A and B are shown apart, each in its own frame.
Chain A
Amino acid sequence: MKRVVTVLAALLVGGIVLAGEPCLTVGMIIGGPKDDAGYNQAQYEALMTLKEKMPCVEILFAENVPEGEAEAVLESMIQQGAKLLFPAGFGYMFPALNLAKRYPDVIFMHPGGYMLADNFGTYFSNVQFAYYLLGVAAGLMTKTGKIGFIGGMPIAFVLGNCNAFHLGARAVNPNVTTYFVVTGAWVDRAKEVAATQALLQQGCDVIGSHLDSPIAVAQTVEAAGAFFVGYPSLAVQKFCPNAWVTGLGLTWGDFFADIAQQVLDGTWKPAHIRKGVEAGFITLGEFGPRVPEEVKKIVLEYKEKLISGELQPFAGPIRDQEGNIRIKEGEVWGPMDMGKFDWLVEGIVGSPK
């Protein structure tokens, strides 16, 4: 009798232990808070979708991690058994690469990086191309012919988004002027509000942004009765229900789950993965209450053309603000050229520096 009980107990304990054993431990660090209705939230939500789709995965997560601490925090996750890590902030690339050299059996997936290693891959959405669609919407919705764009810092991806925004608007409204303003920080609520007000006072009635979190901009636009296009998370819509036209959300949940499965199956390979609307890496949001049906139709048409490849937002000839040809006739810039922007398209008011 005693032996039976012991065996049963052992089986029970063993069962509990086995049931408690995760199939994979996945870690992520982000540089800001996970509920910023912006970039950090998009990363966090993707992680949560991964967990939903693969319940046996154990998640390790840290937010507000400064860059100088990234290596140490990631390393402590490795020591807790993490085999797949998402250093989900551009500034973490070098610390993560250092770590990748030391831990060849851990896989690292970095957003927007430009280096690869045997165990280090990168991913991002082709935002600039999708932002063209927001420009189309803006060009159709503006009554004043002036649209505004607020960037955090004047880096290539931000400039690229503003350029796409402008080109898209001009495609449907050739006299549109785009005003470009930079706050100098990825997060500074007071400046974001002041920037929005400066644009509104200039006469812009559709505003887009590339910040970590567009909440302050959205609220200011809503209060002024103008229009807003959202990026990088669709969660910001609730802050501006009337001003909302449409938006772009970075949506990597399914992709993360695929990667995790690849790691489990042993089929993962390092690559720069850049996909767009067609693969679900970026999602066009629903339309707001003040958007007329014809506008919706046109935007969706453009979206189809983007998915099919018929639409190439950055096909030459395209000139910069001084009139120089930057993209020649017949030349087309693709996803891997997006790091080359240090200029703004003609017709944009603002400085790329």
Chain B
Amino acid sequence: MLSKVTTSRWTYATLRLVFTIVVILGVFGLFLFILGRDPVKAYRDTISANLLNPRGLSQVLVRMAPLILTALGVAIPFRAGLINIGAEGQFMLGALVGTWVAFQSQNLPLTLIAGMLGGALWALLPGLLKAKGIVNETISTLLLNYLAPLIVGYFVFGPWRAPELAMYPQTPELPEPTRLSLLFGTRLHLGFFLGLFFLLAYAYLVNRSRWGLELRTVGGNPEAARRLGLPVERWIMVAMMVGGALAGLAGIAEVAAIHGRLKMAISPGYGFMGFLVNWLAFANPVGILIMSFLMAFIASSGFTLQITQRLPYAAVNVLMSLILFTVLAKPLAKGVRG
């Protein structure tokens, strides 16, 4: 229906984005209303706390940083036709390997690269299994998500535990040179700008370069790609590794900037939220920017509203699922029989 009205791909994509945003805000309000809260006051509370207030806004951006990276971690494999639900595990492995290198090298760039390597390695196994046609990446990444925190726990409780912190397991503080400095007196850090950088790189490379074309061909039609002589298996593994690397970077950045040490509780589900961001944005770079901001805003609102409106934080999960349901139902498209 809509696609008959406008043939411009850009307009359609933009309209879809706007529609999604409207849906999100509308569902949020409706949801609050159903829970017996005043949506107008809730919106006012959260907008004033998280948008108009500079500290609040900077905190939204801080929450946005890992989301951009994990969303990219899902987006890149997605363009190759892969579903990467393992960003959560790749995040933690990146934090793990990055922390180790931080202690060994005391060097920031090496630490960050190590984080990317950790995430890439964790994504390599699922990529390999998928490329060889053994196991679908959905299952393998999910399983690895469960292994990752156990591995981190083993190290944090065991060989890496800070002795003076016998009460509460975490590593000693990361060496000073490896800490990501907080800028402008806020909690904003380099990780945010790295996220933007990779987003731009993604937008350019995937959509306008030859590599990107090959990647997208593999994703769009693997059979045709094979017949064209493209190394499909290799692209699958590369896509997974690059995705994992970015999720891993998110992990080490969170540790280096926010927590300052490795512990078990470093991800409140960034991997899954990144998956959602990617889905809502349809892997579109501008969409990823907007959706990760919106998600971060919703997460911040969850805390604000818990204090001002006694809304349990779990409501945020419900909200995200309702948004996803709405988008998945494709209300704008008429005939969806497939």
Tell whether any CB of A sits under 8 Å from a CB of B in the complex. yes
Residues of A bordering B, CB below 8 Å:
60-69, 71-73, 75-77, 79-80, 90-91, 94, 112, 114, 153-157, 184, 339-342, 353
B254 part of interface (Cβ distance < 8 Å)? yes
CB pairs A–B below 8 angstroms (20 shown):
A60-B307, A62-B306, A67-B259, A68-B254, A68-B265, A68-B268, A72-B59, A76-B303, A76-B304, A77-B307, A79-B55, A80-B307, A90-B168, A114-B167, A153-B157, A153-B169, A155-B168, A157-B167, A184-B153, A339-B167
> In the bound complex, do residue B265 and residue A91 qualify as a contact, i.e. CB atoms below 8 Å apart?
yes
Question: Residue on A with the closest CB to B163?
Answer: A342
**Across-interface contacts of B313 in A (CB, < 8 A):** 64
Given contacts A67-B265, A68-B268, A72-B59, contact A155 B166 (CB under 8 A): yes
C-alpha gap A69/B63 in the complex (Å): 9
For B307, the chain A residues whose CB sits under 8 A away are: 60-62, 73, 76-77, 80
B interface residues, how many (CB within 8 angstroms): 32
Tell me which of B53, B169, B260, B268 contacts A66 (CB under 8 A): B268
Contacts of B258 in A (CB 8 A): 68
- Considering the chains assembled together, what is the distance between the CA atoms of A339 and B158 in angstroms? 16
> By the criterion CB–CB under 8 Å, are B303 and A65 in contact?
yes
Write out, one digit per residue, whether chain B residues 251-294 have a CB within 8 A of any chain A CB (1) or not (0). 00010001111010111100000000000000000000000000
**Interface flag for B49 (CB, 8 Å):** yes
Q: What's the least CB distance linking A187 to chain B, in Å?
A: 12
Q: What's the minimum C-beta distance from B67 to chain A, rounded to whole angstroms?
A: 13
Chain A residues with Cβ below 8 Å from B157 are: 153-154, 353
Please indicate the chain B residues that have their CB under 8 angstroms from the CB of A91 in the complex.
Answer: 168, 263, 265
A62 to B254, CA, bound (A): 23
The docked-state distance in angstroms from the alpha carbon of A5 to that of B220 is 77
B187 in the interface (beta carbon within 8 A)? yes
Q: For window 155-176 of chain B, which residues contact chain A by CB distance below 8 Å?
A: 157-158, 164, 166-169
B167 touches A155 (CB 8 A): yes
Residues of B within 8 A of A90 (CB): 167-168
Q: Are A156 and B167 closer than 8 Å at their CB atoms?
A: yes
Complex: A80 Cα to B55 Cα, angstroms: 13
Judge if B300 is at the interface, Cβ distance under 8 Å: yes
Write out the residue numbers on chain A whose beta carbons fall within 8 Å of the beta carbon of B268. 66, 68-69
Chain B residues within 8 Å of A63, by CB: 306
With both beta carbons as reference points, the residue of chain B lying nearest to A27 in the complex is identified as B307
Contact A71 B187 (CB under 8 A): yes
Q: Answer whether A94 and B306 are a contact pair too, CB < 8 Å, given A72-B300, A184-B153, A353-B158.
A: no
Q: How far, in angstroms, from A71 to B164 measured CA to CA in the complex?
A: 23
Q: Which residues of B are interface residues toward A (Cβ below 8 A)?
A: 49, 53, 55-56, 59, 62, 153, 157-158, 164, 166-169, 187, 254, 258-261, 263, 265-268, 300, 303-304, 306-307, 312-313
How far is it, in angstroms, between the C-alpha of A341 and the C-alpha of B62 when the chains are bound? Answer: 37
Q: In the bound complex, how far is the Cα of B259 from the Cα of A342, in angstroms?
A: 25
The reply to whether B266 and A68 contact each other, CB–CB distance below 8 Å, is yes
A96 to chain B, nearest CB (A): 13
Cα–Cα, bound, A287→B5 (Å): 78
Cα distance A67–B261 in the bound complex, in angstroms: 12
- Given A79-B55, A340-B166, CB of A73 within 8 Å of CB of B265: no
Question: A154–B156 Cα gap in the complex (Å)?
Answer: 12
Query: Do B254 and A342 touch across chains, with their CB atoms under 8 A apart?
Result: no
| Given A68-B258, A153-B169, A75 and B55 contact (CB-CB distance below 8 Å) | yes
Given A72-B59, A153-B157, A184-B153, output 4 extra A-B contacts at Cβ < 8 Å: A60-B307, A68-B266, A73-B303, A94-B259
Residues of A within 8 A of B259 (CB): 67-68, 94
When chains A and B are docked, how far (Å) is the Cα of A346 from the Cα of B17? 66
Bound Cα distance from A210 to B300, whole angstroms = 33
Given the complex of chains A and B, what is the CA–CA distance between A94 and B49 in angstroms?
24
Bound complex: CA of A267 vs CA of B157, how far in Å?
40
- A156 and B166 within 8 A (CB): yes
B166:A341 contact, CB within 8 angstroms? yes
What separation, in Å, do the CA atoms of A62 and B304 have in the docked complex?
A: 9
Q: Shortest beta-carbon distance, A51 to chain B, in Å?
A: 15
Chain A residue with the shortest CB-CB distance to B314: A64
Which residue in chain B gives the minimum CB-CB distance to A182? B157
Contact (Cβ within 8 A) B304 A66: no
Q: Which of chain B's residues have a CB closer than 8 A to the CB of A353?
A: 157-158
A45 to B188 Cα, complex, angstroms: 36
Residues of B within 8 A of A340 (CB): 166
Q: Closest approach, in angstroms, between the C-beta of B271 and any C-beta of chain A?
A: 14
In angstroms, Cα B153 to Cα A77, docked, is: 32
A-B residue pairs, 3 tightest by C-beta? A156-B166, A66-B268, A72-B59
Complex Cα–Cα for A145 and B153 (A): 34
What CA separation (Å) do A68 and B168 show in the bound complex? 16
CA of A213 to CA of B307, assembled, Å: 24
Min CB–CB distance A195 → chain B (angstroms): 17
**Closest residue of chain A to B304, judged by CB?**
A76
- For B164, the chain A residues whose CB sits under 8 A away are 114, 339
> In the complex the two chains form, what is the Cα distance from A66 to B266 in whole Å?
9
> Complex Cα distance A353/B266, Å?
22
- Determine how close the nearest CB of chain B comes to the CB of A268; give it in whole angstroms: 24
Question: In this complex, what residue of B is CB-closest to A33?
Answer: B312
Nearest-neighbour CB distance to chain A for B28, whole angstroms, equals 19
- Asked if residues A155 and B265 are in contact (CB atoms below 8 Å), the reply is no
Closest residue on chain A to residue B55 by CB atoms:
A75
Residue numbers in A under 8 Å from B49 (CB-CB): 76, 79
Contact call A72/B265, Cβ cutoff below 8 A = no
Which A residue sits closest to B50, measured CB to CB? A76
Determine how close the nearest CB of chain B comes to the CB of A62; give it in whole angstroms.
5
Question: CA separation between A164 and B310, bound complex, in Å?
Answer: 40
CA distance A72 to B304 in the complex (A): 10
Interchain CA distance A41-B278 in the complex, whole Å? 38
